[in-house]
Amino acid sequence: MALIVQKYGGSSVADAESIKRVAKRIVDTRRAGHDVVVAVSAMGDTTDELLDLAHEVAPIPAPRELDMLLSSGERISMALLAMAIHSMGFEARSFTGSQAGMITDSHHGKARIVDVTPVRLREALDEGAIVIVAGFQGFNRDTRDITTLGRGGSDTTAVALAAALKADVCEIYSDVDGIYTSDPRIIPRARKLDHVSSEEMLELAANGAKVLYIRAVEYARRHGVLIHARSSFSSAEGTYVLAEGMKNPRASEGAAMEEPIVAGVATDLSQAKITVVGVPDVPGKAAEIFKIVSKSGANVDMIVQNVSAASTGRTDISFTLPKADAPGTIKALAAEQSEVGFENLLHDDQIGKLSVVGAGMRTHSGVSEILFEALSAGGINIEMISTSEIRISVVLRGDDLAEAARTVHSAYGLDSEIEAVVHAGTGR
């Protein structure tokens, strides 16, 4: 008998029928003799709809109230799921994040888990109940307020519960059969991975692959939680995310484990680019600019500085950041224009970022060459480039991103013979 944590995403519990289907899956796991703890997301696109609603009544909703509002989505699905399980003759008990002991810092909208005290969950398990926990939410002890963990945060709830309860596995169910070499909504020929390393998954998640939330992958790596990403719509085995030293539960003994050089291609349309034009090319200017940027709270990703024109002694500095951070950052920079001495500011929110990720890049050369050749053959212009040890990213026109991803995916020989199935969801 094992302890299994299962997380069901919004598309898996989008309506009453889906909730009953998920309830049956949970009951089947219980029938097989396992203890089951479930983290559940809000139904379908509920969180997005609540967010839209909030912005209809207030341009900038108060963070505390926004968390109160958004956390209600998961309360609905957890209670319905428990009811559906009852009607199948099994004992189930639902808990809010705060009842489940999900203790966070006080950072509304992006709270970090600081402690998990699942006393009530253990009691319920000991009494033979199936435990259902509202994902994405926690509680801060100092403010005594409800917090949320950031979009996609139910994944983190599940992993944190798995760590605290020492579960055997954390199964993350969504609308695709596992982790693919790229988003199957964009690349139907994406190939399902048997397993992926935590470090590769972190890079994929950080660069747009929302199939797993980056903080959940981080948490799992730190606490040694085995993640199995799979679909709630099929019985297909999914993808294991393996931290260093973890054994692939599916690997046959002694099988040679030659890893592919490239694990996957991630795409991201959520970033914008700001260019500071005509910056005096003297020491200290980059420091001044990025001090202002960081004060505005923006999370900068790529930075490029051009060679200065000899005739003017001025240069341009471009950087990318989340679209939502751009207006505030532009305002902050504009306010300091004469102080810093730059000429102009450009804002571009039509960019797309394509990233190629693979641990094999450490030991193999020629990976970037394939990327640049594929983009060149496709007539696609590159605007920025950045690299890490195991990733190469390029910024392109947003309109070119899907086509570029398909071309690059083929160029690395990642295309599968069969089309991937996206079972449900709106991709929102």
Q: List residues binding ligand ASP (CB under 6 A).
A: 9-10, 41-42, 47, 73, 135-136, 151-155
Q: Which does 405 bind (CB under 5 to 8 A by kind): ligand ASP, Mg ion, ligand ADP, none?
A: none
Alpha helix (H) ranges present in 259-309? Answer: 285-295
Contact present, 249 and 191 (Cβ < 8 Å): no
Instruction: Give the separation between CA 404 and CA 408, rounded to whole angstroms.
Output: 6
Residue nearest to ligand ADP (CB): 9
Q: Which is nearer to ligand ADP, 327 or 427 (CB)?
A: 427
The β-bridge relationship of strands 314-322 and 137-139 is: unpaired
Q: Please, what is the minimum distance in Å from the beta carbon of residue 269 to ligand ADP?
A: 12
Instruction: Give the separation between CA 144 and CA 130, rounded to whole angstroms.
Output: 28
Instruction: Give the separation between CA 395 and CA 318, rounded to whole angstroms.
Output: 11
Q: Which stretch binds Mg ion (CB under 5 A): 1-9, 216-224, 313-321, 351-359?
A: 1-9
Q: Please, what is the minimum distance in Å from the beta carbon of residue 53 to ligand ASP?
A: 14
Instruction: Give the separation between CA 211 and CA 230, rounded to whole angstroms.
Output: 10
Instruction: Give the separation between CA 17 and CA 235, rounded to whole angstroms.
Output: 18
264 phi/psi in degrees, rounded to 5: -175, 175
384-388 sheet: strands from edge to edge? 264-268, 351-357, 391-397, 384-388
Q: Which does 42 bind (CB under 5 to 8 A by kind): ligand ASP, Mg ion, ligand ADP, none?
A: ligand ASP
Q: Please, what is the minimum distance in Å from the beta carbon of residue 132 to Mg ion?
A: 18
Instruction: Give the separation between CA 320 and CA 302, rounded to whole angstroms.
Output: 5
Q: Please, what is the minimum distance in Å from the beta carbon of residue 116 to ligand ASP?
A: 17
Q: What is the DSSP string of 384-411?
A: EEEEETTEEEEEEEGGGHHHHHHHHHHH
Q: Which does 151 bind (CB under 5 to 8 A by kind): ligand ADP, ligand ASP, Mg ion, none?
A: ligand ASP
Q: Which stretch binds Mg ion (CB under 5 A): 78-86, 151-159, 240-248, 381-389?
A: 151-159
Q: Which is nearer to ligand ADP, 278 or 425 (CB)?
A: 425
Q: Which stretch binds Mg ion (CB under 5 A): 3-11, 193-201, 381-389, 415-423?
A: 3-11
Q: Which is nearer to ligand ASP, 161 or 404 (CB)?
A: 161
Q: Which is nearer to ligand ADP, 170 or 333 (CB)?
A: 170
CB-based contacts of 32, cutoff 8 Å, min separation 6: none
Rule CB under 5 A: say whether 101 interacts with Mg ion: no
Q: Please, what is the minimum distance in Å from the beta carbon of residue 176 to ligand ADP?
A: 5
Rule CB under 5 A: say whether 278 interacts with Mg ion: no
Q: Please, what is the minimum distance in Å from the beta carbon of residue 151 to Mg ion?
A: 8
List the Cα angle 105/106/110 in 5-degree steps. 80
Q: Which is nearer to ligand ADP, 267 or 329 (CB)?
A: 267
Binding site for ligand ADP (CB under 6 A): 9-12, 41, 152, 174-176, 179-180, 182-185, 209-211, 264, 422, 425, 427
Number of neighbours of residue 381 by Cβ within 10 angstroms = 12
Q: Which is nearer to ligand ASP, 149 or 404 (CB)?
A: 149
Structure tokens belonging to residue 136 = 């994405």
Q: Which stretch binds Mg ion (CB under 5 A): 8-16, 198-206, 222-230, 295-303?
A: 8-16
The β-bridge relationship of strands 169-174 and 227-231 is: parallel
Rule CB under 5 A: say whether 152 interacts with Mg ion: yes
List the Cα angle 382/386/388 in 5-degree steps. 145
